[in-house]
Amino acid sequence: MTTAHIPVLADELLELLDPQPGQIAVDCTFGGGGHARMVAEQLDSQGTLIAIDRDPLAEERFLELAEDLSCSARFVRGGYAEALAMLTDEGVRADVVYLDLGMSSMQIDTRERGFSYSYDAPLDMRMDPRQELTAREIVTTWDERRLAGILRELGEERHASSIARAIVRRRAQAPIETTLALVEVISSAIPTPARFASGHPAKRTFQALRIAVNDELGQLDAALPLAWGLLREGGVLAGISFHSLEDRRVKRFLVERARGCICPPDLPVCGCGREPEAALLTRGAIMASAAETARNPRASSARLRAAVKLAGPHEDQGGQA
């Protein structure tokens, strides 16, 4: 690894979560542990940090970090949807749950993982090396229509059809097995004026492949209700997103839980009886300051949203860590 891990929107996240001594915090996307360290310091010796990640590098980082923590700490290796389901089955109740979505700097800087379009590496992109599906398999075996679909839907790539067509043509001549070979194909498929109009020409294609390989949106859709169910009354759920597909999901989930009555506005008396489950802590997404973006360019696309869980008919203060 060549770049120090810099947690994005760290102060803003800590202020929203407001972890207290003795509480239980669940970090769903541990990564380099930057946010986790800050949260753990607030939990003190009576609190518990539960860290989740499917990347073995994150587990190694956790073991290093845990030696310096005063609170109890536990690591769960796996996708955060599966890990949250396991914690739910165990009866864990948390005061704080948060997700820092997307890639970690560790994954980008471990070149052989193939996450970056900036240097040559095998087309891999697996967050969990134990899984079978890789970016190479998608690029070399998926048909043109399916390729175009994920580039359009997961990468929001305007030139999805052209790129998919170019990939299929090139692989018919020789396998596309490395990141720079793929970058070359992508660049050849995009009109010259558009190649660097909004960042690197391969950015959206690499995003789409990474999301598809790791089922990131499926994980998020499954994880949000599980994370919410894990929270005690008064607990806070927060999410940091780095592209619109993630941010829309986090926003929609939190806003839906903050909705009260859904009766037609012309109905004089509420008939649905619906009460809000949440109070939004962020009316709009919190974004990084100019100063933070200057220090850490990755923060430029970050969006932070959070909500506190309100009392419900079945809430209790029991639970375990």
Between helix 216-230 and helix 203-214 the angle, nearest 10°, is 60
Stretches where the chain sits below pLDDT 50 are 1-3, 313-320
pLDDT value at residue 319: 42
Interatomic CA distance for residues 309 and 301, integer angstroms? 27
Place of tokens 């809430």: 315
pLDDT value at residue 46: 93
Interatomic CA distance for residues 145 and 126, integer angstroms? 23
* Sign of the CA dihedral running 171, 103, 97, 240: negative
Per residue in 109-140, pLDDT (tens digit) is: 777 888 889 889 999 999 999 999 999 999 99
pLDDT value at residue 5: 63
pLDDT value at residue 316: 43
Q: Where are the domains of the chain?
A: 10-106+216-309, 110-214
CA-to-CA dists, residue 295 to 117, 174, 289, angstroms:
22, 41, 10
**Fold that domain 10-106+216-309 belongs to in CATH:** Rossmann fold (3.40.50)
pTM for the whole structure: 0.89
Q: Per CATH, the architecture of 110-214 is what? A: Orthogonal Bundle (1.10)
Name 239's bridge partners. Answer: 99, 305
Interatomic CA distance for residues 302 and 247, integer angstroms? 9
